[in-house]
Amino acid sequence: MFKNVYNWIDERLDITPIWRDVADHEVPEHVNPAHHFSAFVYCFGGLTFFITVIQILSGMFLTMYYVPDIINAYASVEYLQTKVAFGKIVRGMHHWGASLVIVMMFLHTMRVFFTGSYKAPREMNWVVGMLIFFVMLGLGLTGYLLPWDNKAYFATKVTLEIANSVPFMGPVLKELMQGGTIAGAETLTRFFALHVFFLPAVLLILLVGHFIMIRRQGISGPL
């Protein structure tokens, strides 16, 4: 049954090469922890992606309840945390996942750095990877404000002051980030839009680039 459906589609669209490009490759011995336990350092990239997927899924569920305005943001997060079934777990996964994704990404970056895997011909993939790192930090920064509690508000005030101290374009940067002359309603909606639409879009594009490059070039050879 499934085979017939698959064949029907494959005859028309020739989809086999698409998934074969993704799926059909071999994992060499030197990155396989089953053969050398020390090769577990090669797991961090995959785990970063795994936690990123958790972040995207839990974030999608959070937006079902979250209200991005200064009157209701806190109340909606509190409702989610205390009243909604499994809300505490979904928000907890998003909260802890945000830290874990940074940890995993950091470990992955260190693995790539200390094994010299960024060297020719993989320079571009390193640059894309660093851009992913910066986008992730941006996601952490914008997401921190969204619960709109005191910790979030005052930390964001500090961030905006740091942005303000950048020479020449500091004040413009600050006003752009906070969406006006004070940190308030516009700042929250702006950070929400960045956190939920802009940065994830950039992140997904960069991830696709990262994965296409690793498939074209393969994982770096043994030392």
Among 9, 18, 95, 176, the residue binding other proteins under the rule CB under 8 A is 95
Which amino acid is residue 30, in one-letter code?
Answer: H
- Residue whose structure tokens are 């940067």: 173
The yes or no reply on residue 69 touching other proteins (CB under 8 A) is no
- Which sign does the torsion angle of CA 47, 51, 52, 56 carry? positive
Contact characters 105-134, other proteins, x per CB under 8 A:
-----x--xxxxxxxxxxx--xx--xx--x
Q: Mark residue 36 as left, alpha or beta (left: phi above 0; alpha: psi -120 to 50; beta: remaining).
A: beta
Residue 212: name the closest of 25, 42, 21, 17 by CA: 21
| Binding to other proteins, residues 34-53 (CB under 8 A) | 34-35, 43, 46-47, 50-51
Q: Tokens at residue 43, please?
A: 């797991």
Q: Tokens at residue 63, please?
A: 């937006």
The yes or no reply on residue 88 touching other proteins (CB under 8 A) is yes
| Binding to other proteins, residues 130-189 (CB under 8 A) | 130-131, 134, 137, 140-141, 144, 147-155, 157-159, 162, 165-167
Instruction: Pick the stretch among 4-12, 20-28, 189-197, 198-206 that binds other proteins (CB under 8 A).
Output: 20-28
Among 8, 63, 92, 180, the residue binding other proteins under the rule CB under 8 A is 92
The yes or no reply on residue 21 touching other proteins (CB under 8 A) is yes
Q: Which is nearer to other proteins, 10 or 21 (CB)?
A: 21
Do 145 and 190 contact (CB within 8 A), yes or no?
A: no
